[in-house]
A and B are shown apart, each in its own frame.
Chain A
């Protein structure tokens, strides 16, 4: 009697086991499947609408078909260049500080604030850049947009630099010092080069993330239907064009939005894949 009851109970547990485990498989399937489907959709749709014009022409007047996003592509490139030029040095040096001179309460504060800044929504950073740069200067500009993006890059640059520097084995550092190097010389000639790969991939991932940011640009670099000379004028950018065109009524705009989405996503994913591959290769080497 007891035996039969026990095996029923056991069967129930086994069924639950089978069911729940398959459910988790289903979850994975749904999650990955949905995401892959929509990305596939983007690639197919976007690829269809790519054209030479897209890369070389300026936008056409409203309502007329044709034109392209050449100025947006250049604009995005300029914004990212500026963001990297400002954000990476500050982030990297901050990471060096935390990794090499950290350990005290001040470092703890810096880490806390970095995480805080990292969590700030990009739209709020856009407001910040507007009040800080656009208002006093009196106009929208590539510079304001680039600065907004650089503020977004800094926290990630700090944390990833710190992580990769910390990952350099103690033995390397001590070896340098045993050979008579001062701390700064050890950092400069031994530690940083050892962490070089990781730091580079960190920068690449950071860049890829910021390349797709739209919100901070809406009221800093605004937009431009023409080329934007220098750094003091508003500029078009890929993400903002996608936003504007997707919401408009013109079929032609929708097609261009898809094409722009394709280009943006392809670049972001390509950089991500390369960076992660480099990282995993390096991980094998260090171990």
Chain B
């Protein structure tokens, strides 16, 4: 923004005019001070957050060290705690969400950006962006009473098609990593669609026209020219969705089964970092248990920062609006 204005006129006006000018500049300083204070508050809050997480997880960090990240045991009686089952559950459910969400999301984004007539495109996008506003606990509610019964019905077809893989072995009880992954995918699809669509729309028209002029079909122009151009932004949207999926709490904890074990089968129940904190934090018996949970929170915090950071780099790297 332009620098302070009336400083050019340094000549001293007399009497009332002088105090007016002083009052004006004092207003400037006040505005600056107040808004600066607000900006500093944000830094202070975030610093305090990291500090509190770090300090309150000391017990657990000192006892387990880095092995916390690779230990599978979660034994409250023996006070042996390891983060691996939760990292596993968090990652696996998020990966399922991405595997389902990316094709559907990007596909729909392409349709909405390239093919649909503008009115339909903006109408549907409006609807989809509304869906992005649906709270997590409502997805959880729907997951428990609508999705899981549907998955029960789909169990046999899935098993006959994919039961030979280690991914779909064992009994299916409804609550499982599969259910959590599917609920998560429903939650991230609106984000992927919304951001990808905007990124694709932002690709300059001459790119498309050049491709079509060279004889490409509509699809080829989209897939071979436009999408690669928008690739960074689309990948960024995927990373952002991943970051959201990693931290999702309520919907996951209501359908994942709450079992801190590592299972290759997606039919098996699992546990995510956010879910165990939600379930057990208020009840954690003992200092070490609470400390371990807070350390889990720290791990999750670190994970989301890394993914978010990667996402920002990618989305900011696209043309037009620099950064969301």
Contacts and interface: CB of A to CB of B under 8 A. Distances in A.
Interface of A: 13-14, 16-17, 20-21, 23-28, 30-32, 34-36, 38-39, 41-42, 89-94, 96-103, 106-107, 109-110, 113-117, 119-128, 130-132, 151, 154-155, 158, 173-174, 177, 180-185, 187-188, 205, 208-209, 211-215, 218-219, 222, 239, 242-243, 246-247, 254, 257-258, 261, 264-265, 268-269, 272-273, 276
Given A27-B105, A39-B131, A212-B134, 4 more contacts: A93-B38, A101-B36, A116-B46, A177-B5
29 contacts: A14-B217, A20-B223, A21-B218, A21-B219, A38-B142, A42-B141, A90-B38, A101-B35, A115-B312, A116-B46, A116-B305, A120-B301, A123-B278, A126-B277, A126-B281, A130-B281, A132-B48, A183-B31, A184-B27, A212-B135, A213-B136, A218-B278, A239-B135, A243-B250, A246-B141, A257-B141, A265-B134, A269-B133, A276-B129
B142 A41 contact: yes
Closest 7 CB pairs of A and B: A212-B135, A121-B247, A27-B107, A97-B35, A93-B38, A184-B31, A17-B217
B151 interface: no
B90 to A, nearest CB: 10
Contact of A94 (B41, B48, B246): B41
A242 B138 contact: yes
Interface in B108-163: 108, 110-112, 115-116, 124, 126-131, 133-138, 140-142, 144-147
A134 B3 CA distance: 45
B254 A268 contact: no
A100 B297 contact: no
Nearest to B47: A113
Given A123-B247, A246-B141, A265-B135, A27 B111 contact: yes
B219 A103 contact: no
Given A28-B112, A100-B35, A215-B249, A273 B141 contact: no
Interface residues of B, number: 89
B137 A243 contact: yes
A154 B42 contact: yes
A89 B134 CA distance: 25
B130 A272 contact: yes
Given A119-B243, A122-B247, A124-B297, A28 B41 contact: no
B134 A39 contact: yes
B190 A246 contact: no
Contact of B108 (A32, A212, A243, A258): A32
A154 B111 contact: no
Contacts of B250: 214-215, 239, 243
A183 B4 contact: yes
Contact of A214 (B4, B136, B300): B136
